[in-house]
Structure 1
Amino acid sequence: MTDPAPNPHATEAEVEAAYADPKLANVLYHDWEADTYDEKWSISYDERCISYATGVFNAVAGEAGQPYPTAMELGSGTGFFLLNLMQGGVIKKGSVTDLSPGMVKVALRNAAALGLDVDGRVADAERIPYPDNSFDLVVGHAVLHHIPDVRAAFAEVLRVLKPGGRFVFAGEPTKIGDWYARRLGQLTWWLTTNITRLPPLSSWRRPQAELDSSSRAAALEAVVDLHTFDPAELERMAQGAGAIGVRAVTEEFAAALAGWPIRTFEAAVPQEKLTLRWRLFAYHLWLRLSALDKKLLSRVLPRELFYNVMITGQKR
């Protein structure tokens, strides 16, 4: 069966229908965003993101079993997690899957540019188009909160894993973390867009052009996020699907408190104002606060307070 083609220019009728269909909303939104996604989220395939991806993976799953002979990324987007794990020596051969044809296309393009052994399929997480016992590892980053039936997705992941195979999902929003991150973002957006109305700061105001017919799907950003998670609840979902050795770990508290205002500010001002000096400041601040989270705050604060939750488990 041939995978569907990307549709980066959704019609008005398609977008309207997507408000009642979360899967269609995710396809249309991520097809529209695919070609600019890496730039938007500062995704790269160099030492910075290799170190981040392998660090996250090892924090929840450890280094035992590496390198995994075969791995699939569920909801791969542009391939950020899988491709950087491959470059970091965690995985030998990979497969990318996503509900969005546009994302699969970009992920395979990124893999080819890096010279990595990767194939790909357009795939619904609740009906993964691979046979039973296909992979040694399944990974995902910021994907579970887009899936309508998370437990069904866990069951499918376990089906395509080989006996004893492992899954690792990272970058999922916690309930409390999402609450404070959204409010920090909203406050920062309000402050930035209003302060830059002042004449002396007008050059810092980013033009807010209305959506045209080529970017209608951008409005779907408000409806593609379906879930936030309590770490214990997420563990129970995976266990209920049949996983063993399930463990959830959280990260980013201080880093999230600073990171969300910084990301929102960057989205609200002209990109030419964000100098290399600013970007280095933001990156090194995030590194320092992440170290504070790992070395101190994770030992004294409840895991529910942190922004990101990561989970791992195995097939029997």
Structure 2
Amino acid sequence: MNQEQIKSFWNDHPCGDHIVGGLHQRFDDDYERFFAAYDAWRYDQESHIPAMLDRVDWRGKRVLEIGLGQGAESEQLIRRGALWSGLDLTDESVDRVRTRLAARALPYEDLRQGSVLDIPWADDSFDLVFSHGVLHHVPDVHRAQAEIHRVLRPGGALVAMLYARHSLNYQVSIRLVRRAALAAAYPLRHSGRLARAPMLRQHLDNAERVGLRHYLALDTFTHRSTDGPLNPFARVYSTQDARRDFPSFELVAASKCYLHAPPLPVRRLSLSGRRMGWHLWVRLDARPESTPAQGVPAETAWTDEFGEVSL
């Protein structure tokens, strides 16, 4: 897996684009209509995001956002007073975010195309780094976190959303339900009965190409089950995993949100995502250069909520 493959996928499949019909398809490049539809969908599905952002004091802080998607959170951060700069691996996302911010006359510091593996800013440039749903798609996350640490000022912090290992989506939907469904459908892959299920059809094509057993191996299947069957890379995180993969930081707060586990109809249930939510929000404070990471502590009960540990 290399960065060019990841860049190509996200350039062709900007986050959430297909769900509302596509900027270049249904909306015929009408950016305002597209952004309105996208934001309405996003904050209906993930209504916790604004409240989570409100737990951080962004005002007057130099903030770097890594991975921009459609710029929905970029706009939220700027409206909360951040001195915002943005970085995305793809030209497509950079162009969309630039268009969004210009249309809304929102001020910002800088916006660049580039890689988290080689962040194009000087040392000690930012007070905070924010990344929502991006770092779990970076294979060389150790290098990425070192680069984030480099551009943070002393006392800076990374606030990130990572896919949660201890979630209903991963433990039940991905590990059990979806793999079982694919195994059951595999003998029917040439029957024509699945023509109206394009996502399942793509999974079956993937499985036939590499072999069903290999495709259903959990490491492989996880990549293809978080952001569509063509997604090249994804991983999931517990708080222990976050401590391991971000050794230049100290994990000081964590919270889970967003009960999401397709095809299970969990949105109909009045349940909180606090225990089994798909989104793990973490605050990681940058360690001083001379302070090595300590041994990874065992995972503990879920008591380190954002509400209890201030961001």
Is the contact made by 1:68 and 1:137 (CA closer than 8 Å) also made in structure 2? no
Give me the CA root mean square deviation. Answer: 3.9
Match for residue 53 of structure 1? 49
Q: Which residue of 1 aligns with 2:240?
A: 232
| 1:68–1:90 contact (8 Å) kept in structure 2 | no
For 1:180, the equivalent position in structure 2 comes to 172
2:142 pairs with 1:148: no
* Offset of residue 185 of structure 1: 4.7
Shift of 1:206: 6.0
Of 107, 114, 120, which aligns to 1:129? 120
Describe the shift of the 1:245–1:46 C-alpha distance in structure 2 as closer, same or farther (beyond 3 A): same
Residues 31 and 81 of structure 1: CA distance in aligned 2, closer, same or farther (over 3 Å): same
- Aligned residues of 1:135 and 1:160 also touching (Cα < 8 A): yes
- Give the equivalent residue in structure 1 for 2:260: 256
Residue 247 of structure 1: aligned partner:
253
- The 5-angstrom pairing of residues 1-316 of structure 1 reads 21-34=1-14, 37-40=16-19, 44-45=38-39, 49=43, 52-58=48-54, 62-63=55-56, 65-86=57-78, 89-118=79-108, 119-174=110-165, 177-182=169-174, 183-185=176-178, 205=196, 221-238=229-246, 240-241=247-248, 243-244=249-250, 246-252=252-258, 255-257=259-261, 260-261=262-263, 286=267, 289=269, 292-293=271-272, 298=274, 301=275, 305-315=276-286, 316=288
- CA–CA distance in 2 between the matches of 1:28 and 1:37? 16
Post-superposition offset of 1:117? 2.0
| Alpha carbons 2:162, 2:237 under 8 Å: kept | no
48 and 187 in structure 1: CA distance in 2 versus 1, 3 angstrom threshold? same
Instruction: Note closer, same or farther for the CA distance 1:77–1:22 as it changes in structure 2 (3 Å cut).
Output: farther
Counterpart of 1:310 in 2: which secondary structure?
A: strand
Higher relative contact order (CA 8 A, sep 6+): 1
Q: Which AA in structure 2 matches 1:229?
A: Y
Taking a change above 3 Å as real, the CA distance of residues 47 and 222 of structure 1, as seen in their structure-2 partners, is closer
Deviation at 1:186, TM superposition (A): 5.8
Q: Provide Cα deviations, 1:147-178, integer angstroms capped at 9, x if missing partner.
A: 11212212211211222222110142426542
> SS where residue 96 of structure 1 aligns?
strand
Point out where structure 1 has 5 or more consecutive residues left out of the alignment: 1-20, 211-217, 263-281
Contact map agreement 1:172 1:308 (CA 8 A) in 2: yes
- TM-score, L = length of structure 1: 0.62
Pick closer, same or farther for the CA change 1:102–1:164 going to 2, 3 Å: same
Kindly indicate which of the two structures has a greater share of residues assigned to helix: 1
Secondary structure in structure 2 of the residue aligned to 1:256: coil
Alignment length (residue pairs): 240
- The alpha-carbon distance between structure 1 residues 44 and 91, as it changes in their structure 2 partners (threshold 3 A), is farther
Contact 1:181 1:256 in 2 (8 A): no
Query: Which whole-Å CA distance do the structure 1 matches of 2:101 and 2:150 have between them?
Result: 26
Matched residue of 1:132: which SS? coil
Q: Distance in 2 between matches of 1:117 and 1:67?
A: 13
**Which segment is superposed worse, 174-183 or 147-156?**
174-183
Q: Secondary structure at the match of 1:228?
A: coil
Question: Residues 155 and 174 of structure 1: is their aligned pair in 2 closer, same or farther, counting only changes over 3 Å?
Answer: same
C-alpha separation in 2, matches of 1:107 and 1:158: 25
Return the offset for 1:128: 0.5
